[in-house]
Chains A and B, each alone.
Chain A
Amino acid sequence: DTGVSQDPRHKITKRGQNVTFRCDPISEHNRLYWYRQTLGQGPEFLTYFQNEAQLEKSRLLSDRFSAERPKGSFSTLEIQRTEQGDSAMYLCASSLVGTGSEQYFGPGTRLTVT
């Protein structure tokens, strides 16, 4: 399968714990995006990378959230000191460079904070 993959698919954690998610984009795609989606809503943009550079971050991305893409391939999204409001589906997408390039989404990681 050459699509976008995410790991884990599901994560249950207790409030206050740290969690880390991984995204592997389509191999030739140099842009990688993170979104958050809550039930009944469309995905909300969090941040994106072009190669290893993080170029844009949403105001939604609090200081507890950090994303990396150290070698311009896979990316990680870490949430520190999780809160119940962090419970959501975290989606990763990748695309080629260029305005108007189609984004391909992964299956998402569903986070539940208890």
Chain B
Amino acid sequence: GESVGLHLPTLSVQEGDNSIINCAYSNSASDYFIWYKQESGKGPQFIIDIRSNMDKRQGQRVTVLLNKTVKHLSLQIAATQPGDSAVYFCAENGNTGNQFYFGTGTSLTVIP
């Protein structure tokens, strides 16, 4: 099956700093990727997505970068806030495109 993994399981940043969360995926057939944020006791919440025909996409305070050559995704959060503290997952849509494969997650802690 697909393997989606994160380089760092935990990340601590000072409030106001920028955060970068990395993700490696293994299926070159994946053409759609999503970053999710999950707070304790809640379901994953969509943050930003990117299709394989793009290498960068920006949202509000977040940017996703896609490097298909090395099968790598990153999520950049600008001016990190305490409310950004959560577990972040990347997900890829795999061979069929209909189911998503999630990585283990990175726990982000923002220090006030």
Contacts and interface: CB of A to CB of B under 8 A. Distances in A.
Nearest to B42: A107
Nearest to A42: B102
Nearest to A99: B97
Interface in A7-66: 31, 33, 40-45, 48, 55-56, 58
B32 to A, nearest CB: 4
B96 interface: yes
Bin chain B's interface residue count: 20 to 34
A35 B41 CA distance: 15
Given A40-B104, A45-B101, A55-B98, A103 B32 contact: no
The DSSP consensus for interface residues of chain A is: loop
Contacts of B34: 102-103
B46 A100 contact: no
A83 B62 CA distance: 41
B98 A40 contact: no
B66 interface: no
Nearest to B89: A42
Interface residues of A, number: 24
B71 interface: no
Which of B43, B99, B104, B105 has the most chain A CB atoms closer than 10 A to its own CB?
A: B43
Interface in A56-108: 56, 58, 91, 93, 99-100, 102-108
A26 to B, nearest CB: 12
A45 B98 CA distance: 10
Interface of B: 4, 31-32, 34, 36, 41-46, 49, 51, 89, 91, 93, 96-105
Interface of A: 4, 31, 33, 40-45, 48, 55-56, 58, 91, 93, 99-100, 102-108
